Structure formats: C-alpha cells, structure tokens
Chains A and B, each alone.
Chain A
Amino acid sequence: MSSESTQSDQRPRHRAIVAGHGEFAAGLVSAVEQITGLGSQLIPVAVHKLGVADIEALLRERMIAEDVRVIFTDLQAGSCTMASRRILRGMDDAVLIAGANLPTLLDFLFAEGMSAPQAARHAAERGRAAIAVHGAGA
C-alpha cells in the first residue's frame, strides 16, 4: 500500500449499479459476495414503490454520488431499464446492460485492463454464452 494512502482509500470502490424487479439486485449481489467477496463493489437498488420518474431520479442520483457509469438491469421491458435508458440519453460515458445474470456480474468484476464500459460489454457476452440447457435430449 502506498504511504500516501488514506483511510478513504480503504473503502470498497463501487463499480456498477444493479437494479431490477423485487429483490433481484440484492439477491444477485448476495450471490456475488458469496462467490467472490466482491459484492461490495456493486450497488443493489430496489424500486418497489416508485414511479418511473422517481426510479430515474434514484438511479441518476446514485450514479452521480458514487461516480458509477455502469448499470445492470434484469429485463429489457423493465422499469429500471426504461429509466436507465433515459439517463443514458444525457450521459455519454455510461453503459446499460439489460438482461444481466450472475455470470455477467462475475465476469465484469474480474475484468482487468478494461474501462468500465468495455468490461460491461465483455461481461454481457460472457453472460449470454453462460446460458445452457441440459438434459431431456437437449
């Protein structure tokens, strides 16, 4: 550790927001934590009681406050995805990955030598490829 490190350097750096239906975000982040111990790098966001405008405001506020430019959501048609796409319209350096799964997040967190948007795109491909069907003649 550098001699110039301060206590604030010890705080886990947030790298992305995870948002979706029900407890999707908390569940995925919990799984990431169990597998890797890196769950604290993700910010889980739940939006149970919020309307569309409030979802957008909440996600935007967390992105700015934590200086995060990557959002993972669960469903292309979901309210969090819709809100995130509105945010991206005015935030050119941000990236949204809709349809995220656990392999997506794991790949993102272990990406090295890439910018956050590059890592997110790489992770999306890995998450897509990680879906497999077994049994029953598959």
Chain B
Amino acid sequence: MTLVLYRIDDRLIHGQVVVGWGQPLDIGFIVLVDDTVAAEEWEQELYRMGVPPEMDVYFHSSADAVNHLAKYRSDPRAGILLTGDIATMRRLVDAKGIAAVNVGGIHSASGRVQRLRYVFLTPAEERELRDLAARGVSVTAQDVPGARPVSLDDLLAGNEP
C-alpha cells in the first residue's frame, strides 16, 4: 500500500480521520505534518492517545516531511497524510508530486467565508486551492467517505451536494 489520502483538516487527528476514514481504508498509520505539533512532545502525545494501538502516528515539520515521503509511500500499510492548512500541503505538493488532495475540514475563523458545511475560506486560501489545481492536483472536498466528493469549482461556489 502507500499513502492513500492526502488530507487538509485543521482538526488534524479526530473522529472523522481515525474512524470515518481509518476503518474503511484499513489505515495502519497517519503522517501528521504540522510545525507546531512537530515541535512539542506533549502535543504529539495528545494525538497519539487519540488513535487505536494498532495505528502508528508519525510527526513531521513541513520542511522535514519532504524527506520522508518516499518511505511512507513504500510502506506496505495504507496511510493518511494530514496537514492543518493549505499552505503546508502546498509545500509538499511542490516538493514531491501529489496527485490528489482532499479538503476535509477548514473551520470558521475571522476573515473566512463559509463555502461548505465544513469548509470556510479566506480569499487567500481560495487562491491557494486554485493554485494547487493549476499545478495539476485534483482538489476535492469530502469530509467522510460516505459523502459525495465536491469539485473545486463547486466548493468555491458553495454548492453543497
């Protein structure tokens, strides 16, 4: 197997990831790419306690992750790579071609406008998503496996299926 899902989700490891995606995809590991979490052992322990014992979690800064992607892609288990924001995913796309990105959750914050039930974006974030698509990446929004994927155009237009 390999990394089967590249997901942008500002909640990082949570129920939708561990249970919603983790069980149907038989996920064996999660790669969490976040500069803050990578720098704090306590935060890492917090996220480790959220996953079942048979699931591994690996933590990397955005700079460090690039050097480990090949290893995770050749892992015999299925894995999910998580970033908490679009910019971090963009850095990984630039460095190590990623074909498809899942927008799983970007929640309400100052300056953001609601586009879907679980996606709120600033104008700058909208540009970042368009930029990812312009690099040949398939960008879709989908919070859980049972939901229909939403194309980038529909996402930015706020067309909830």
Contact = CB atoms under 8 A, between A and B. Distances in A.
Interface in B13-65: 13-15, 17-19, 42, 46-47, 49-51
Contact of A81 (B10, B50, B51, B117): B50
A81 B42 CA distance: 15
Contact-residue bracket for chain A: 10 to 19
A77 B14 CA distance: 5
Q: Identify which of A52, A74, A81 gathers the most chain B CB atoms within 10 Å of its CB.
A: A52
Contact of B108 (A51, A76, A78, A82): A51
Interface in A37-88: 48-52, 54, 74-79, 81-82, 85-86
A47 to B, nearest CB: 9
Contacts of B118: 49
Of the listed residues B10, B17, B47, B114, the one surrounded by the most CB atoms of chain A closer than 10 A to its CB is B10
B66 to A, nearest CB: 25
Contacts of B12: 52
Contacts of B107: 49-51, 54
- Give the interface size class of chain B: 20 to 34
Most A Cβ at <10 Å: residue of B15, B18, B46, B109: B15
A78 B15 contact: yes
B15 A75 contact: yes
B130 interface: no
B32 to A, nearest CB: 12
B15 A79 contact: yes
B72 interface: no
A86 to B, nearest CB: 7
Given A49-B108, A54-B109, A21 B46 contact: no
The listed residue with most B CB atoms (<10 A of its CB), out of A75, A77, A89, is A77
A120 B10 CA distance: 30
A82 B14 contact: yes
Interface of A: 21, 48-52, 54, 74-79, 81-82, 85-86, 89
21 contacts: A48-B117, A51-B10, A51-B106, A52-B10, A52-B11, A54-B108, A74-B15, A75-B15, A76-B50, A77-B13, A77-B14, A77-B15, A77-B18, A77-B19, A78-B14, A78-B15, A82-B11, A82-B13, A82-B14, A85-B49, A89-B42
